[in-house]
Chains A and B, each alone.
Chain A
């Protein structure tokens, strides 16, 4: 036990003396959370629009005002020709243009049918879609007020409720994603680099010649990183609750427990990588390619896995971050209990046992 503590202390000194890395380890999650929370949001707010009103009547003014007043849009300018619209789009100043034809109100009242044209910048298809949807719903609202006094023979209206995240805030999905990403990076990459560094320096040989058991060497090397990861989780959770207003709806302890489990999964991946890598650079590169990218792509927090072609969906199942992401979302955002995440937990436990088994076995083989 004492050997074990001395080893951990030494490992901690490595981390502590390497200030630059330590600062990165602590700040990286903070910066990522703030970036994803504030800057890289997928919400659409205050998109610039232009209005080309050829009718200029009571109805078009009212609709224009409502669109301009909504929080999704802000009116950049009124334009007076299609050429003008084209020019403004080309300058990249607007995302959407609304065109009212001549005699809008007259057509509406006398022929019972009028048209509004929405022109969107679809170089960013998602945003274009969202903007036209928002605009259409504002126009539909106007139409509903017109029809209020008229008895419609049949009518279906939809009522939408956004569960768990009524304000549709992007942070609700980014926070769990960043947690998965940071834990993967800190644990797996840092441990693999730390172990390979000992191989490179030749100190690993000396330790292996000593009476210390290989299994204990591995565990002792990883514990400080487990600690740093816990610190990171605490940082992320504090930031998300107090800065991004993302609440922890479910049990905090369950969330922490699952995070520790995922950390151990990541650590065993790190050990596995260190088994294969001979230089620190290889370890770093292997971690980047085999952990960081899959976590980013397949955990589901940037791109919905359901929309991917099936071979990629199959691949996504072996990415531990996918399961952790589901777990964190269920606990933190939806407030669900263990009975709803036991399957994902079991998958993570299974992965961890297999990974740890393989990496420790390989570690011993090198010894023999």
Chain B
């Protein structure tokens, strides 16, 4: 199943009044890939992702997610994707297992499956014994890992991660990328936005968004060669310098 495209975008555009947040972006993502979406704050990463998730309607252009059209087959897309926001959105006043149960439940998993998933998840995250702890009391790193595991609890084809590592220390970030690789190995396509350039090097392919446009799309190694730089940081700086738009 190599080269099967799970996301395609063709001149996808989003305008808010006169402001063009996303300007005719064209790309596709292959199955099982870790696809990095880089850009400064305000470059349009989140807006682009929201269009693909069905949270926002495109102004123009075409896109398909998991083979379904973003305009017409929104409901089908929703069944096949997972989403994790930059806020690690969990319910603070619910326990670990209650959070898992709720999110798995709204994706329609059966009771047996939820139980199985819960124990498997808790074990994988080495949170045994803390199932009844309220999320409020957990360290940030735990919340982040839990939020990611919950985003893929229903085994989606694609998971969208919106700046999933904000505010977390480097060690926890590395552990988190371990989880991402594990999910990728299971065949889940990862679509991740970030502005940490070291993370970009963990991705199979990255795009760099500048002012709503995609200015570069390739594997990190090729980009570094193309822009004659030793790190993604260098590549990014060369591209971002062209930006007119200020960050938000």
Contact = CB atoms under 8 A, between A and B. Distances in A.
Chain A bound to chain B: yes
A25 to B, nearest CB: 16
Contact of B105 (A3, A205, A367, A368): A3
A205 B98 contact: no
B27 to A, nearest CB: 21
Interface stretch (B1-9, B32-40, B53-61, B195-203): B53-61
B94 A211 contact: no
Contacts of A206: 83-85, 89, 103, 151
B78 A368 contact: no
Contact of B57 (A3, A18, A210, A368): A368
A211 B85 contact: no
A3 B106 contact: yes
A17 B106 contact: no
Interface in B107-122: 107-108
Contacts of B90: 203
* Interface of chain A, main secondary structure: helix
A209 B55 contact: yes
A368 B92 CA distance: 28
Contacts of B107: 210-211
A203 B89 contact: yes
Contacts of A14: 91, 93-94
Interface string B134-161: 1000000000000000010000000010
A10 B102 contact: yes
Given A10-B102, A205-B83, A368-B56, 19 more contacts: A2-B108, A6-B101, A6-B102, A10-B91, A10-B94, A14-B91, A201-B91, A202-B86, A206-B103, A208-B55, A209-B53, A209-B82, A209-B83, A210-B78, A210-B103, A211-B75, A211-B78, A211-B108, A212-B106
B81 interface: yes
Interface residues of A, number: 22
A6 B92 CA distance: 17
Contacts of B83: 205-206, 209
A108 B232 CA distance: 111
A18 B91 CA distance: 13
A7 interface: yes
25 contacts: A2-B105, A6-B101, A6-B105, A7-B102, A7-B105, A7-B106, A10-B91, A10-B98, A10-B102, A13-B93, A13-B98, A14-B94, A201-B87, A201-B89, A205-B85, A209-B78, A209-B81, A209-B82, A210-B78, A210-B106, A211-B79, A211-B107, A212-B106, A367-B55, A368-B56
Contacts of B75: 211
Nearest to B101: A6
A207 B103 CA distance: 8
A3 B102 CA distance: 9
B11 to A, nearest CB: 20
Contacts of B92: 201
Contacts of A205: 55, 83, 85, 89
Which of A2, A7, A206 has the most chain B CB atoms inside 10 A of its CB?
A206
A211 B90 CA distance: 18
Interface string A211-236: 11000000000000000000000000
Which of A3, A205, A207, A367 has the most chain B CB atoms inside 10 A of its CB?
A205
A209 B83 CA distance: 7
Contacts of B106: 3, 6-7, 207, 210-212
Contacts of B55: 205, 208-209, 367
A10 to B, nearest CB: 5
Interface in A180-213: 201-203, 205-212
Interface string B41-79: 000000000000111110000000000000000010011
Nearest to A365: B57
Nearest to B93: A17
Nearest to B108: A3
B211 to A, nearest CB: 25
Nearest to B107: A210
B54 to A, nearest CB: 7
B74 to A, nearest CB: 9
Contacts of A368: 56-57
A13 B105 CA distance: 15
Nearest to B87: A202
A9 to B, nearest CB: 8
B189 to A, nearest CB: 15
A7 B82 CA distance: 18
Interface string B212-228: 00000000000000000
Contacts of A210: 78, 103, 106-107
Interface in B9-33: none
A366 to B, nearest CB: 9
A152 B124 CA distance: 103
Contacts of A208: 55
A193 to B, nearest CB: 14
Nearest to A15: B93
